[in-house]
């Protein structure tokens, strides 16, 4: 499978959000990546339901929604109604992760699990076949435009081996400090989905940057 590109809206100019959405619609990007923060699980607050609903009305590609919130089970159905196509929860925020994944799937969405930089991948052994996607955080969650954590490559390689050994179709997504300088190595390590925000939206030509990321091999 060719790798996917999911531009993150976290670093977008919210005053120009319509323009950014139209830009991504016209590009070779595959998904919109939306980071939802509650100010509790991470020290920041971002998109709420009305904003996601507005994005869904304009977006011509799936919404990849990443929840950095406590007790995500409370809001699964609400995120589905708001327009999420893929819903990713944090391992660290879920007491009953298997149950949470089943609820997401029952609501009609793809189910993802995210790991913070300090969380080892072996903790996913019992649920790897239940997840449609694993999101490796290559920065500490909460803010955009952070420096890539180099140890992430080893986590990705370990995770890829786990996926192969279980004959799972689980995708690997990476988010944080992703750009032209490291995207090729991430793909070689086993990444299927590249999330990039600052490196795309702060570039002189975002559509061309997306094209370069998409055509790496």
How much is the mean pLDDT over the chain? 95
- CATH-assigned architecture of domain 4-214: Alpha-Beta Barrel (3.20)
Q: Tell me: pLDDT of 49 over 70.
A: yes
Q: What is the spatial distance between Cα 87 and Cα 201, in angstroms, rounded to a whole number? A: 23
Whether 160 and 179 have beta carbons less than 8 Å apart is answered as no
Whether 85 and 60 have beta carbons less than 8 Å apart is answered as no
In percent, the amount of the chain with pLDDT more than 70 equals: 97
* Catalytic member of 30, 64, 132, 175: 175
Query: pLDDT per residue over 111-158, tens digit each?
Result: 999 999 999 999 999 999 999 999 999 998 766 566 899 999 999 999
Query: pLDDT per residue over 182-202, tens digit each?
Result: 999 999 999 999 999 999 999
- Domain residue ranges in the chain: 4-214
* Catalytic member of 30, 35, 38, 64: 35
Q: If you average pLDDT over residues 41-67, what whole number do you get?
A: 94
Instruction: Tell the residue number behind the tokens 């509790």, with chain if given.
Output: 40
pLDDT of residue 146: 67
Q: Tell me: pLDDT of 1 over 80.
A: no
Whether 108 and 80 have beta carbons less than 8 Å apart is answered as yes
pLDDT of residue 43: 84
**Distance set, CA 183 to CA 42, 108, 117, 154 (Å):** 26, 31, 18, 15
Any catalytic annotation for residue 35? yes
pLDDT of residue 50: 94
Return left, alpha or beta for 83; rule: phi > 0 is left, psi -120 to 50 is alpha, else beta.
left
Among candidate residues 161, 164, 173, 203, the one with its CA nearest the CA of residue 113: 173
Query: pLDDT per residue over 71-104, tens digit each?
Result: 999 999 999 999 999 999 999 999 999 999 999 9
Q: Tell me: pLDDT of 62 over 80.
A: yes
**Distance set, CA 194 to CA 111, 140, 186 (Å):** 17, 16, 8
């Amino acid at each position: 499978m060719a790798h996917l590109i999911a531009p993150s809206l976290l670093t977008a100019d919210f005053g120009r959000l319509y323009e950014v959405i139209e830009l991504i619609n016209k590009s070779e990007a595959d998904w919109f990546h939306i980071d939802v923060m509650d100010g509790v699980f991470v020290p920041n607050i971002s998109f709420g339901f009305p904003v996601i609903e507005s994005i869904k009305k304009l977006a011509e590609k799936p919404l990849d929604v990443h929840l950095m919130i406590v007790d995500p089970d409370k809001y699964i159905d609400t995120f589905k109604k708001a327009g999420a196509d893929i819903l990713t929860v944090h391992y660290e925020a879920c007491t009953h992760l298997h149950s949470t994944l089943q609820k997401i799937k029952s609501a009609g969405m793809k189910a993802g699990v995210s790991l913070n930089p300090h969380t080892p991948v072996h903790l996913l052994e019992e649920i790897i076949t239940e997840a449609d996607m694993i999101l490796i955080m290559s920065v500490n969650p909460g803010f955009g435009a952070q420096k890539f954590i180099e140890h992430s490559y080893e986590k990705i390689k370990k995770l890829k081996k786990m996926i192969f050994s279980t004959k799972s179709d689980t995708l690997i997504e990476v988010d944080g400090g992703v750009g032209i300088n490291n995207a090729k190595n991430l793909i070689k390590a086993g990444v299927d989905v590249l999330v990039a925000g600052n490196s795309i939206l702060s570039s002189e030509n975002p559509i061309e940057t997306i094209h370069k990321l998409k055509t790496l091999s």
